[in-house]
Amino acid sequence: MRILFLIFFLAFNLYAYESLELNASVTTLKQDANILYIGTNDGQISSIDLNLGIDKQNLKNVAKFEKIKNSYNEFLPQIYSIDVYKNSFLIISEADFGAKNLSTLKDGVLNTKKFEFDGLKKAYFIDENTYLFVFSGATITLVDSNLKVLKSFKFNHSLLNSSNINLARNTLEVDFESGEIKLFDIKKWEVIANFDAVHKDNIYQVDYKNNTLVSCAIDGKLGVIRNNQQSFMQKDFFIYACALSPNGELIAYSDYNQNTIEIVKSSNFEKVASFENIDDEFVVRNILFVDDYKFSISGYNNKIFFWSIK
């Protein structure tokens, strides 16, 4: 009986998880070293030191945005995007009447201004005084800290889905509604690679780590690009969320049909582990590896789950 109980206990507790509950729905996550920054739909950015443990008591307030308005009322804004560079922050948030605000935060001083360009999706630091803006209309723009335009580039596409920048901040990944993925050299200011053999339809997410790309899309394909070689695994339903471990060796993706998070090797799609979604009403919208063996999942609610693979 003890042996049977031990087997059951080990099987059930093979992979540990922790949860963090916020006061509002999570809209974006950004990790910088051991600090995880969390943006929510109530105008708040919080941080947690992952080394101190996943505990609400370890949450710290980073920034709080003032209320905005539409034609009917006032409300707290959503935080759309956070980038961090040498303890400085570049933030995109919701603004009055459906517009967007661009904010900088340094040494506790928050400066916010209404963004004058349409369709801003992401803002990245290139260095302390240079920013890169990515627009839904398939345009990228390099600006200085005064938002003076230095360079602009228009891709030969109508709609850009998402983007990622590498750790060195010299290469940008962009993906489009057609299913194409491109790599853009920021210093040379030109496209250096184009990949279109995996997806033929709308891409949901792409992650870019250690010279490896993973992508997931409405076509049910989980794609990998490494050393200019493209491969994919076909599933029977769309894959909304996917992520790479920092070393690029593992992929986590959401299996909507099975209500699980699957872990596979990026080299050959060999299955490593499977995690059952803790909450049946929790729809995974974002996956983030916080180290090579631990990842987080979040959705359009106020919870973040953290799983350990070993």
160, part of any domain: no
| Number of residues assigned to the chain | 310
Domain residues for 271?
Answer: 203-310
So what's the pLDDT on residue 15? 59
So what's the pLDDT on residue 159? 92
156, part of any domain: no
Helix (H) or strand (E) holding 9: helix 2-12
Percent of the chain with pLDDT over 90: 82
So what's the pLDDT on residue 10? 36
Question: Given a cut of 80, is residue 1 above it in pLDDT?
Answer: no
Question: Given a cut of 80, is residue 282 above it in pLDDT?
Answer: no
100-106 and 286-291 strand pairing:
unpaired
Number of H helices, E strands in the chain: 1, 30
Q: pLDDT tens, 183-222?
A: 999 999 999 999 999 998 889 999 999 999 999 999 999 9
257, part of any domain: yes
Average pLDDT, the chain: 91
82, part of any domain: no
So what's the pLDDT on residue 278? 66
Question: Given a cut of 90, is residue 137 above it in pLDDT?
Answer: yes
Question: Given a cut of 60, is residue 242 above it in pLDDT?
Answer: yes
SS3 content of the chain, % helix, strand, coil (to 5): 5, 55, 40
How many domains is the chain built from?
1
Q: pLDDT tens, 149-183?
A: 999 999 998 899 999 999 999 999 999 999 999 99
266, part of any domain: yes
250, part of any domain: yes
284, part of any domain: yes
Helix (H/G/I), strand (E/B), else coil: 7? helix
70, part of any domain: no
Tokens of 150: 């230095």
Residues 6+ apart with CB under 8 A from 284: 240, 241, 254, 261, 277, 297, 298, 299
CATH code: domain of residue 302? 2.130.10.10
Question: Given a cut of 80, is residue 6 above it in pLDDT?
Answer: no
The model's pTM is 0.91
Confidence tier at 117 by pLDDT (50, 70, 90): confident
